[in-house]
Amino acid sequence: MTRPQHPRTARPRHYLMCRPTHFEVTYSINPWMDPAKPVDGPLAVTQWERLRDLYTALGHTVEEITPLPGLPDMVYAANGATVVDGRVLGARFRNAERSAEGPAYLEWFRARGYRETLDPVHVNEGEGDFLVTDTCVLAGRGFRSTPAGHREAQEFFGRPVVGLDLVDPRYYHLDTALSVLDGDEVMYHPAAFSPGSRSVLRRLFPDALLVAEADAEVFGLNAVSDGLNVVLPEAATGLAAQLRGRGFRPIGVDLSELLKGGGSVKCCTLEIRPGT
Ligand code: ARG
């Protein structure tokens, strides 16, 4: 097992979240969503508040966007945009049910004075499919975001965008199959990727933490790391042990209600990366 060369340190982050006031499962656009299965709305809010309060307790800044009625998936803030160097790439959703979320998130940033913004032409579902490492932006495709959306991101951010093909519909967004732990250190579930993309990942990240099916299917990879603390679904117990072995501090949370929409910790968390 790879041991950290240096002690793990947390860096304070800036997150945007959306309270699940209007959360429900009325349509199905991923295999986890079953409109016949009841959602406990008040419990969803309580679980979400615990996540928000945990971030604050860890020293992070959390802002909130006002949830809009009729957009039940707006709680998955990670999909709302991608923010790198203070530059805001808006989202364009594949499914009509979510299309109004893109402009709503972009407007939030514009109203707060973010001047470098782009309303994209091509489909990209924000940080659902774009994960930022120190040297590149890893980009999922196959189910939601498109190669044209990847190109648009590379041109806008001026950072290399590495396309990765997702092949299992249960892992329809990159952030369900891969997570950035720190700098250029990642963890992922190999079976979620095409053979070629697995080779790319091995080449780029030979020391990556490989995550088993049992932890991936409870959304263990839908995690948020600050460099030390890794907030992840509490059911991913094997992964928590692996993380501890690498010097991280895993913190398990229960987001059972939001899981019914096909999302967990990371999906609810959009990271705002400042410019310098
Ligand atoms: N119901 C939402 C969808 O299918 C869930 C999005 C989860 N978000 C994420 N970042 N993976 O689009």
Give the C-alpha separation, 241 to 228, whole Å: 14
Contacts of residue 209, defined as CB under 8 A and 6 or more positions apart, other chains included, come to: 2, 181, 185, 186, 187, 188, 242, 243, 246
Average pLDDT value for residue range 220-232: 98
Catalytic residue among 18, 60, 150, 267: 267
Place of tokens 């044209």: 148
Phi (first) and psi of residue 137, to 5 degrees: -115, 120
CB of 101 shorter than 6 A to ligand 1: no
- Reported in sequence order, the residue ranges of the chain that DSSP labels E, i.e. its strands, are 14-17, 61-64, 81-84, 87-90, 117-118, 130-132, 137-141, 161-165, 178-182, 185-188, 209-210, 224-225, 229-233, 249-253, 270-271
* Residue 2 pLDDT exceeds 90: no
- Which residue's CA is the closest to the ligand 1 atom numbered 8? 267
Q: Which two tokens stand for residue 220?
A: 């263990």
Q: Which two tokens stand for residue 54?
A: 């945990």
Q: Which among 76, 98, 132, 168 is the best mutation to test ligand 1's pocket, defined by most ligand atoms within 8 Å of the CB? A: 76
What is the complex's ipTM, to 2 decimals?
0.97
CB of 129 shorter than 6 A to ligand 1: no
Model confidence pLDDT, tens digit, residues 58-75: 999 999 999 999 999 999
CB of 30 shorter than 6 A to ligand 1: yes
Give the C-alpha separation, 228 to 243, whole Å: 10
Give the alpha-carbon dihedral of 103, 66, 31, 43, to 10 degrees: 180
* Residue 1 pLDDT exceeds 60: no
User: For all residues of the chain together, what is the average pLDDT?
Assistant: 97
Residue 8 exposed, middle or buried by CB count within 10 Å (0-12, 13-18, 19+): middle
Percent of the chain with pLDDT strictly greater than 90? 97
* Residue 5 pLDDT exceeds 70: no
How confident is the model at residue 276, as a pLDDT?
79
Task: Decide if 267 is catalytic.
Answer: yes
Residue 153 exposed, middle or buried by CB count within 10 Å (0-12, 13-18, 19+): buried
Place of tokens 């790319």: 200
Q: The CATH number of 14-271 is which of 3.40.50.720, 3.75.10.10, 3.30.420.40, 3.30.260.10?
A: 3.75.10.10
CB of 131 shorter than 6 A to ligand 1: no
Residue 53 exposed, middle or buried by CB count within 10 Å (0-12, 13-18, 19+): exposed
Measured in Å, residue 261 CA sits from the centre of ligand 1 at: 7
The model's pTM: 0.97
Place of tokens 């656009």: 29
- Which residue's CA is the closest to the ligand 1 atom numbered 7? 263
CB of 79 shorter than 6 A to ligand 1: yes
Q: In what order do the strands lie in the sheet with 224-225?
A: 224-225, 229-233, 249-253
Model confidence pLDDT, tens digit, residues 80-111: 999 999 999 999 999 999 999 999 999 999 99
Task: Decide if 173 is catalytic.
Answer: yes
Terminal Cα distance for the chain, rounded? 35
